[in-house]
A and B are shown apart, each in its own frame.
Chain A
Amino acid sequence: MRAARTSVVAAISALTTITAVAGCAQKSDAKGSDAIQVTASDSACEVSKTSFPAGHVKLAVENKGSKVTEVYVYAPGDRIVTERENIGPGTRTSINAEVKAGSYEIACKPGMKGHGIRQKVSATGKGKLPKRDPRLDEAVAAYRTYAQKQADDTLPAVQKFADAVKKDDLKGAKELYAPSRVGWERTEPVAESFGDIDPKVDVRADGLEKGQKWTGWHRLEKSLWQTKKITAADHDLADRLIKDLKDWQKRVGTADITPTGMANGAKELLDEVQTGKVTGEEERYSHTDLVDFKANVEGAETSYKLLKPVAAKNDPELAKELDKQFAAVAKLLDQYREGEGFVSYDTVSESRRKKLSDAVNALAEPLSRLAAAVVTK
């Protein structure tokens, strides 16, 4: 948990979202002369033009295939600029969006799944576009896929946890609690970038603002481990958690992820470990801090691995050091494995916590230099 931040991954601009939504209600004028005709079929995705002026853009979509399809507009790094689901065979629709100058991809997804059939397009504007490094765009796209998968995998895990809570199954809920948090902890900087989700699902008692109702995982953690009693209010909290996390799952695709944002996000995951997990503050009732610890490190390592091709070229020494320190932390954590998870953190002595802290420092210090190593020069 962390207060809303502004720097790492900025959420998609509200303007774009609103415009796209407004498009839903609009009566279709798909033949408008400025519109980009998108003809979707089961095996193709044809566009009438691949270059158009930046600003207000209208897609006139027709599904000529036999499957229900979706149309997406992606910015580099697979950020969703706008999307429309459930376009039935033989139907037309129009999508409106505001786009800045730059390169984009329009994707049709027959059957509403997969990577989609894509067309490269560009919005033209004044001034020269910044040079893009395709390796970094690839890294961002792969990271977004990872973040989406974490959210997708989290929901069923949280559902199981919520079901146990609603069945007043104290023992079962306790077992399902920590595993339900792993996907969230791995990609927390993305979730935090939305600002409003984190305070609903991952806030701790000390993080509450005046008048804020305490909801989310840690509220339930307190019931399960401290008061040891599941109440009717907890049932509602479990439903609410699912609802809030579905919101997160839906928004991952729109997060504005950049290479430096990924690198800084990795560093921030280690910050989380240093200030919340090593101290035992995050999971103060359940003492499952080491599960979060591991997930934070895994998320950071994923970012690093995806950026490594560029970082290792710009700063080979740094990459060598990071490989070494990621391995060292993993090895140290292995000492605390127990069954499927980790030992309860209240059994870890001060002196052993210090060793964990030292290892985190050893990793986080070079990790703080990763962003500079992926800056496009």
Chain B
Amino acid sequence: MATHTGPDAPIDESGTAPSRRALIGWGGAGLALGAAAAGGAAAALGGGADDTRTVADSGAAVPFHGAHQSGIATAVQDRLHFAAFDVTTGDRAELIALLKEWTKAAARMTQGHAVGGGAVSDLAEAPPDDTGEALGLKSSRLTLTIGFGPTLFTDRKGKDRFGVAGRRPEALIDLPAFPGDNLDPARSDGDLCVQACADDPQVAVHAIRNLARIGMGKVAIRWSQLGFGKTSSTTPDAQTPRNMMGFKDGTRNIAGTDTAALDKHVWVSERAGPAWLAGGSYLVARRIRMHIETWDRTSLKEQEDVFGRDKGEGAPQGRQREHDEPNLRAMLPDAHVRLAHPDSNGGARILRRGYSFTDGTDGLGRLDAGLFFLAYQHDVRDGFVPVQRRLARTDALNEYIQHVGSALFAIPPGVRDADDWWGRTLFS
């Protein structure tokens, strides 16, 4: 089992080795056994280019390289740290150099290694390259997924910032205003984003923190969001997690193993283009604040009517089990599930990957909680936009929620190998 963190430490691309340095220190044979078992479990599931496998062991590493970025079809991890960045340099070469450096660091961190020269170098006079709080922690299925916002291509005045204005995809629109939006510019948009998902929150936070540090002088964090509980799963055989309203909402998500559905609804095809984005996707991020206190004093019947599901089992109204096919007509016309269902939206499906958040309380003592909605799709104009238009107009849930942050990003395809880098297809 590798235990290096130094710059020469080999990166284990098989995804089978939980190899953060301080497996040492937990000590003893129990550790060695645990590590071996973890490696075995992941190996049995078949590590390789396929990042969609259901990884049972939460310590394992998810492969960084592949045709698509990991963190999309990957079985949803427990925790999130999502960061949007402003690019502060005006220099294209500097931006590209940063993307390459980030890619290198991301590849290391997802495989359980420290960045650069490690967290404890032999140079006492300099701050260590790695911030160190992930030493001793396993890979925890960390995935890092990068995205490019509309403002990376053209600024608000339409000026070409980095010589890629002509490559801005048509589908990378400025999202329209939806009724009821109360968006805070300080929690919206961004030139770049990085989604860090892991089963250990410290591993996710460590990854964003180190990328932000590497980026200082070239990029600056614009906003970031922590998520503590997944609200959707891409593994349909698993229980659907409940959101902060106590409901299962994300039951009919696209499965990470459903290649046909992914190709149809999530990945940008060669044909649709642009060519640089083939194999990529689009990500909508919305910070949806829930009016927790008023929701909590709402009768069970109204709660169930609002969602169109029963609260206990999560079954669609008029059905028995969570995964039973919903009968939309059994629900009220403004029920959330009915309005969001593909049948009400011309068959449009999106891959949801959102997380619950609770950022403490606001100045009035109300829980600052809700859903950090993340959805991947091949074209927002057929996906999020029409669905949200419908929901914003009539969803019964609107009485209890408010959208307070919003962003859209183009998600480039996967990093192929050690020589490839985030954004190569866009910038070459």
* Residue A362 interfacial (CB < 8 Å): yes
Q: How large is the interface on A (under 10, 10 to 19, 20 to 34, 35 or more residues)?
A: 10 to 19
Of the listed residues A354, A362, A368, the one surrounded by the most CB atoms of chain B closer than 10 A to its CB is A362
* Residue A372 interfacial (CB < 8 Å): yes
In Å, the complex CA distance between A312 and B127 comes to 19
| Residues of A251-298 contacting chain B, CB below 8 A | 260
Contacts A351-B186, A358-B88 given; does A365 touch B126 at CB 8 Å: no
Contacts A351-B186, A358-B88 given; does A365 touch B217 at CB 8 Å: yes
- 17 A-B residue pairs with CB within 8 Å: A321-B217, A325-B217, A354-B220, A358-B88, A358-B220, A361-B217, A362-B88, A362-B218, A362-B220, A363-B217, A365-B213, A366-B217, A368-B126, A368-B127, A369-B126, A371-B125, A371-B126
* Residue A375 interfacial (CB < 8 Å): yes
List the B side residues contacting A351 at CB < 8 Å. 186
List the B side residues contacting A361 at CB < 8 Å. 216-217, 220
Whether A375 and B186, one on each chain, are in contact in the complex, defined by CB atoms closer than 8 angstroms, is no
* Residue B260 interfacial (CB < 8 Å): no
B106-142 to A contact mask, C-beta < 8 Å, 1/0: 0000000000000000010111000000000000000
* Residue A175 interfacial (CB < 8 Å): no
User: Which B residue sits closest to A267, measured CB to CB?
Assistant: B127
Whether A365 and B216, one on each chain, are in contact in the complex, defined by CB atoms closer than 8 angstroms, is yes
Whether B216 and A372, one on each chain, are in contact in the complex, defined by CB atoms closer than 8 angstroms, is no
Contacts A358-B88, A362-B88 given; does A260 touch B125 at CB 8 Å: yes
In the assembled complex, the CB of A319 is this many whole angstroms from the nearest CB of chain B, namely 14
Whether A362 and B216, one on each chain, are in contact in the complex, defined by CB atoms closer than 8 angstroms, is yes
In Å, the complex CA distance between A361 and B216 comes to 6
Q: Residues of A at under 8 Å CB distance from B?
A: 260, 321, 325, 350-351, 354, 358, 361-363, 365-366, 368-369, 371-372, 375
Whether B126 and A372, one on each chain, are in contact in the complex, defined by CB atoms closer than 8 angstroms, is yes
By DSSP majority rule, is chain A's interface helix, strand, loop, or mixed?
Answer: helix
List the A side residues contacting B127 at CB < 8 Å. 368-369
| Residues of B77-93 contacting chain A, CB below 8 A | 86, 88
Q: What is the total of A-B residue contacts with beta carbons within 8 Å?
A: 33
7 cross-chain pairs, A with B, having the tightest CB-CB distances, nearest first: A372-B126, A362-B217, A358-B220, A365-B216, A372-B125, A371-B125, A361-B216
In Å, the complex CA distance between A49 and B186 comes to 70
List the A side residues contacting B186 at CB < 8 Å. 350-351
In Å, the complex CA distance between A260 and B216 comes to 23
In the assembled complex, the CB of B379 is this many whole angstroms from the nearest CB of chain A, namely 32
Whether B216 and A375, one on each chain, are in contact in the complex, defined by CB atoms closer than 8 angstroms, is no
In the assembled complex, the CB of A265 is this many whole angstroms from the nearest CB of chain B, namely 13
In the assembled complex, the CB of B124 is this many whole angstroms from the nearest CB of chain A, namely 9
List the A side residues contacting B123 at CB < 8 Å. 372, 375
List the B side residues contacting A375 at CB < 8 Å. 123, 125
In Å, the complex CA distance between A365 and B214 comes to 9
In Å, the complex CA distance between A362 and B217 comes to 4
In Å, the complex CA distance between A355 and B344 comes to 45
With contacts A362-B218, A363-B217, A366-B217 known, what are 19 further pairs, Cβ within 8 A?
A: A260-B125, A350-B186, A351-B186, A354-B220, A358-B86, A358-B88, A358-B220, A361-B217, A362-B217, A362-B220, A365-B217, A368-B126, A369-B126, A369-B127, A371-B125, A371-B126, A372-B126, A375-B123, A375-B125
